[in-house]
Amino acid sequence: MTVHFLFCHEIFVVMAQSTSRPRAVVLVSGGMDSAVVLALAREQGFDCYALSVAYGQRHSSELEAAARVSQALTADIDVPEQGGAGIPVTYVPARNTIMLSIALGWAEVLGADEIYCGVNAVDYSGYPDCRPAFIEAFERLGNLATKAGVEGHALHVRAPLMRMSKADIVREGMRLNVDFAATVSCYNADATGRACAHCDACRLRADGFDAAGVSDPTRYV
């Protein structure tokens, strides 16, 4: 299963390469959830095209560090250290819509009928664009928006982690031999990927590994 990486600033420059396997575009953030999704899509037999979109995230990661991408979508938002009610202040306006739209364009260029993303409704219930209804609406839109839809072969938007807890995701990653040490979850990670241990993302991750009874390889500052 070949995995191709593409960063947003190069999109539409890379054209389809010949392959006999069906293709899937996979949104990859550098965090643990999308790492599991990528492993799942590979397990399904897809030739995976991983798409990483830099929008000025506060945290770096193995993947993002490799991408010297434009600051096109920089959002100036404070990163909270504690959770709260309602919509988290880490919410970035229309982020998932924009990233899925770019994935949709790439999927069309590649002739891929599958888009995979790590959207999850359990731990991110405060984000409007992490709801099942949002993914369903995007799939419907994608089929109306593109040649694929006009030509009759259906586009699918897959969010296989949608209803999993963080512990479920850890267990699924262990089953798929995901290298969790290569992933970074922290909103405040330093340049080498060391985590702060205090932000929402660090706490969710640590709790998930605890609940799964798995040792977390995260390096802390």
Positions that interact with its own copies (CB under 8 A): 8-9, 11-13, 15, 55-56, 70-76, 87, 91-98, 100-102, 104-106, 108-109, 128-129, 131, 133-134, 137-138, 140-142, 144-147, 149-150
Give the span between the Cα atoms of 91 and 23, in whole angstroms: 30
Report, in Å, the least distance between residue 55 CB and its own copies. 8
The tokens describing 4, both together, are: 């191709």
Report, in Å, the least distance between residue 119 CB and its own copies. 11
In the bound state with its own copies, the residue whose beta carbon lies nearer, of 7 and 180, is 7
Task: Read off the DSSP letter of residue 180.
Answer: G
In the bound state with its own copies, the residue whose beta carbon lies nearer, of 134 and 180, is 134
In the bound state with its own copies, the residue whose beta carbon lies nearer, of 104 and 195, is 104
Report, in Å, the least distance between residue 10 CB and its own copies. 9
Beta-bridge partner residues of 49: 4, 25
Beta-bridge partner residues of 3: 48
In the bound state with its own copies, the residue whose beta carbon lies nearer, of 15 and 191, is 15
HEC readout, 163-178: CCCHHHHHHHHHHCCC
Report, in Å, the least distance between residue 214 CB and its own copies. 33
Give the span between the Cα atoms of 164 and 48, in whole angstroms: 22
Report, in Å, the least distance between residue 43 CB and its own copies. 27
Q: Which of 37, 13, 42, 16 is nearest to 27 (CA)?
A: 37
Q: Which of 213, 179, 135 is nearest to 31 (CA)?
A: 179
In the bound state with its own copies, the residue whose beta carbon lies nearer, of 29 and 96, is 96
